[in-house]
Amino acid sequence: MKYTLIFVLLFITGSLFCQTASEGETYFNNKQYSKALSVYENLLKRKPNDGLFNYRYARCCYELKDAENAIIHFEKAGSKFPLRDLYLGELFFNSYHFDESAAAYQKYIATLKPTDSKIAEYQEKVKKAENANHLMTKIEEVSIVDSVVVNKDQFLRFYKFNSELGTLTQESIKLNHHRADKIRYMTQRKDRVYFSDSINGNMNIFTSYKLLDSWSQPVPISDIINTPGNENYPFLLADGVTIYFASDGANSIGGYDLFITRYNPSTDTYLAPENIGMPFNSPFNDYMMVVDEQRSLGWFATDRYQPAGKVMIYTFVFNKEKTNVHSEDPEYLRQVAQLKTYHKASVSIPDSSVKENRLPESEKQIEFVINDSLVYTNVNQFRSAEAVKLWNDLHKFSLELTGKAKELSDLRAKYARTEDEAERSAISPDIIELEKKIMEMKRQFLIKTIQVRNAEIQFLETKK
């Protein structure tokens, strides 16, 4: 009787386990990733080393934009699932682990047949990862003055530069089933224009001169600048020879990258364009560099970590002499390259609750990405009580992080002002320790952000 009871209990437990696994598979196959995530999370508590459960949990995390947990569980899934290396290649690349990204893509390529038409595409990804890894060795030290999130279709309105630098205009055109910016730059003297336009489905840069009573026929600026990729967003410095532009061609590390070139009047040619590197460039789209050398200010736009249709515009201190960041800590270098060492909130994070919210209306305005198609702009849009609690925690943590960032900024300023070498040596360990503390806090900040998002997504899924 005793053994019969044990057998029955084991049978029931096994049946429930199979039923749960089947339920998870159904959610997964129907792309209901939030529901599938919960199921596989429970399954992994019982079988933490199961390859399939880890793989599918990782896929759910990937689809729900939880990159950190996606990487952890793709690696736990093992090599039984070749696609995991394709996902890891992308995840490592977007998190600035470029050497690991290249290795993951190469592993995936090794699983393909030699005749697979996708091999060239993945080899290009390996090349970009290797190029990005090289750029990590010379990250420029940059001081950010301001940052603001704006609509991409109106982003030039937020470039507050003097008309002495010339003028920029923006026009949206249709290009290969998507919208593209047609940018026109005119010099301050209004005697020359540089502009982007579409040729055979690609964007290229053209130029034209002012004649007596008309303009010269537009011509491509240079074959060394225009490539089989897209070139756009031209800007000419006041020196009349230095040009910044953006390209998504072979030397880009992802999407548009910012490049610099100079005109050589003696040969009537341009120097080979140079990728200006990180932190200006990223695995995402970075473009429209404008520099005011007289006022030592610069501006550029990026869509890194922004929802669709939005871009971040950074205002920075322009230094004629480039200084690279020096550190033996690869994680710190990754943070610097991503501009995450500059903790400047572009939106306010309010302290609110479900039961009571007496904040001024201006403090309720936020910009929080829930998923690719849903962005909250007001705290009252949250529907999950759990998400609101987590949001409150995120806000308090953000204040602590801001305080630590201010403390670090003050220490760095003190170090820069101090000429006594002994005093500098005493300050240096405090700076390093605080940098590590802030780096860990930023990691926690990202985790807390994901927790808010996932709580709201899971609540919304239950209401469908």
Mean pLDDT across the stretch 204-215? 93
pLDDT at position 19: 58
| DSSP 8-class letter at 162 | -
Domain shared by 228 and 300, yes or no: yes
Tokens of 186: 């005119």
Give the burial class of 387: count Cβ atoms within 10 A of its Cβ; 0-12 exposed, 13-18 middle, 19 or more buried: buried
Lowest mean pLDDT among 85-99, 242-256, 360-374: 360-374
Same domain for 298 and 402, yes or no, is no
| Residue 345 pLDDT | 37
Type of residue found at 343: H
Q: Rounded distance, CA 180 to CA 388, Å?
A: 37
**Ranges 150-164, 303-317, 412-426: which has the least confidence:** 412-426
Same domain, 8 and 102: yes
Distance set, CA 225 to CA 198, 205, 208, 394 (Å): 15, 8, 16, 45
CATH number of the CATH domain containing 14: 1.25.40.10
Show the domain range for 438. Answer: 361-462
Most confident of the following: 8-22, 225-239, 344-358, 387-401 = 225-239
Q: Which of 269, 297, 325 delimits the end of a domain?
A: 325
**What's the average model confidence in pLDDT over 188-199?**
94
pLDDT at 351 over 60: no
Residue where one domain finishes, among candidates 135, 160, 176: 135
Q: Is residue 123 part of a domain?
A: yes
Dump pLDDT digits (tens) for 257-311. Answer: 999 999 999 898 999 999 999 999 999 999 999 999 988 889 999 999 888 899 9
Structural contact between residues 243 and 235, judged by C-beta atoms closer than 8 angstroms? yes
pLDDT of residue 449: 81
Question: Scanning the structure block, which residue is given the tokens 């055109």?
Answer: 173
The 10 Å Cβ neighbour count of residue 458 is 17
331 is a domain residue? no
pLDDT at residue 5, rounded to an integer? 45
Which pLDDT score, from 0 to 100, does residue 283 have? 95
Question: Residue 386 and residue 354: Cα distance in Å, rounded?
Answer: 9
**Is residue 35 located within the same domain as residue 59?**
yes
Residues 6/8/14/16 CA torsion (nearest 10 deg):
-120
Which contiguous run of DSSP H or E holds residue 3?
A: helix 2-29
Interatomic CA distance for residues 39 and 51, integer angstroms: 15
Q: What is the pLDDT of residue 294?
A: 87
Mean pLDDT lowest for which of 127-141, 230-244, 413-427?
Answer: 413-427
Looking at residue 458, what is its pLDDT? 83
- The percent of residues in the chain predicted with pLDDT above 70, rounded, is 89
Give one word for 255, left, alpha or beta, with left for phi > 0 and alpha for psi -120 to 50.
Answer: left
Q: What gap in Å lies between CA 88 and CA 119, rounded to an integer?
A: 17
Q: Point out the domain boundary residue: 96, 117, 135.
A: 135
Specify whether the CB–CB gap between 261 and 269 falls below 8 A. no
425: in domain:
yes
Residue 374 pLDDT greater than 60, yes or no: yes
Give residue 95's pLDDT. Answer: 94
Confidence of residue 248 (pLDDT cuts 50, 70, 90): very high
Distance CA 314, CA 252 (A): 20
Phi, psi of 452 (to 5 degrees): -60, -50
353 or 223: which carries more pLDDT confidence? Answer: 223
Q: Is residue 354 part of a domain?
A: no
Looking at the structure, do residues 149 and 101 belong to the same domain, yes or no? no
Does residue 122 sit in the same domain as residue 68?
Answer: yes
> What is the per-residue pLDDT for 379?
76
Is residue 25 a part of any domain in this protein?
A: yes
Both 14 and 151 in a single domain?
A: no
7 and 57 housed in the same domain: yes
Residues 128 and 252 sit within 8 Å (Cβ to Cβ) = yes
Sheet holding 144-151, edge to edge: 144-151, 310-317, 297-302, 286-292
- Residues 300, 172 share a domain: yes
17 and 46 in contact (C-beta within 8 Å)? yes
DSSP state of 140: B
Is residue 38 included in any domain, yes or no? yes
What is the pLDDT at residue 361?
Answer: 45
Q: Is 101 exposed, middle or buried (0-12, 13-18, 19+ CB in 10 A)?
A: buried
Q: How far apart are the first and last CA of the chain?
A: 47
Sign of the torsion formed by the C-alpha atoms of 64, 69, 72 and 77:
negative
Q: What is the mean pLDDT of the chain?
A: 85
pTM above 0.85, yes or no: no
Residue 144 pLDDT: 83
pLDDT interval class at 366 (50, 70, 90): low
pLDDT in tens, 42-101: 999 999 999 999 999 999 999 998 999 999 999 999 989 999 999 999 999 999 999 999
Residue 197 is assigned to a structural domain of this protein: yes
- Which pLDDT value is given to residue 437? 85
pLDDT confidence of residue 358 = 37
CA distance linking residue 304 with residue 179, whole number of Å: 18
Which pLDDT score is estimated for 371? 67
CATH at 158: 2.40.128
The segment with the largest mean pLDDT, out of 80-84, 150-154, 257-261, 452-456, is 257-261
- For residue 109, tell me if it sits in a domain: yes
d(CA 371, CA 64): 8
Q: Are residues 125 and 178 in the same domain?
A: no
Q: Are residues 415 and 453 in the same domain?
A: yes
Residues 169 and 275 in one domain: yes
Helix (H, G, I), strand (E, B) or coil at 14: helix
Read off the pLDDT band of 235 (50, 70, 90).
very high
* Number of domains the chain contains: 3
Quickly count: other Cβ atoms within 10 Å of residue 264's Cβ.
11
Highest mean predicted confidence (pLDDT) among 156-160, 282-286, 400-404: 282-286
Q: What 3-state DSSP class applies to 64?
A: coil
Is 167's pLDDT higher than 90? yes
